[in-house]
Structures are given as structure tokens and as C-alpha cells.
Amino acid sequence: MAAFKVLDVRVGRKTDGTVTAYIKWLGQGTLVAAGTEPNRAAIMLSVFDTGRDCYWDDATRVFQTTLGTWNAGPSPISQGRVDSWDVRIPEAVTQPLDLYLSLVSDAQVQQSSGSTAVGWARLSLDPNAQLVLGLLRSRYCYYSQNGLRNTQILQDINWTAP
């Protein structure tokens, strides 16, 4: 695997609506496929702008926030507070944009200086990626079978308890 830490994401949108994106790493970079999907380029830029470490895998042509593997199989919990998140954004528009959430159980009430995540969820970011990234950047983010939310007061958003 040829992965590099991303130093900059440069995006341009021409008046004709076409978008180009350039991923830069130490002393090098790559132009993301011609005709970059605007949403894909916007998400790369938004994730980079959050201050997260980002990586470009030149072999698989994927923009990602971790080089680690994601848990597979069913999570031991089906819902919980979002502790951390990672994304994988393939260059190819035929491949989905993946989001991985690390979840803290509702039973976990003791504060900790480290992660107490015991569960996970893997979601597709399309088509509301910008909204999802906004929720993830919120002070509080919770995942359940109903989806993601940034409030514990369900009636405010017209939801019922899962």
C-alpha cells in the first residue's frame, strides 16, 4: 500500500460546473480523476478542513482518515453515543463513500480520559454527506436505528425513542 499523509486538498469549480480536485502530500500530489463528482470533492475538503489527519492511498485511489482496519461483522451494541468517526472516499464515483462510527454504550456512565467505545456502525455517506459531517462535528452525536442526531431531546426533532 502506498499511502501518504495529506497536506492539502485543493478544489476548483469552474463556471461551467465542472470540479477538479488535487490531493497534495510531501513533495508530491495527484489530480483526482477528471470530472470529479462535486459532492465527493466537497466531502474531501470538508473532512480535511476539520483538522483530521487524512491519508491518500495512491494504489487504491482512496482518501481516508485512517490507515487502520475497520471492525467487520455485527456490533455488540446497536446504538450509542458517537465517540469517533472515520471516512473512506474512493476516487471512483461507482464506489460508495463509507463512514465508520465508534459507539459508546448507553450503559457507560463513568467518565474516562480514553475511548470507551465498544460498538461500531458502518454507513454510506451518500447523499446527505454534508449534513452527516455537520452532525459528527457537533458537541454531542448519537447513533440509533433511526439515524444520527445531535440532541437527546427527541421531541425537538419529532422522533420517537428507538
* Domain carrying residue 106: 80-150
* Cα–Cα dist 93/37, whole Å: 7
pLDDT band at 158 (very low <50, low <70, confident <90, very high): confident
| pLDDT of 143 higher than 80 | yes
Q: What is the pLDDT of residues 33-52, one digit of tens each?
A: 755 678 888 888 899 999 99
Asked whether residue 157 is assigned to any structural domain, the reply reads: no
Percent of the chain with pLDDT over 70: 93
8 Å CB contact between 136 and 49? no
Provide the whole-model pTM: 0.83
Q: What's residue 6's pLDDT?
A: 92
Asked whether residue 133 is assigned to any structural domain, the reply reads: yes
Mean pLDDT of the 97-101 span: 93
Asked whether residue 73 is assigned to any structural domain, the reply reads: no
Locate 9 and state its grid cell. Answer: 486538498
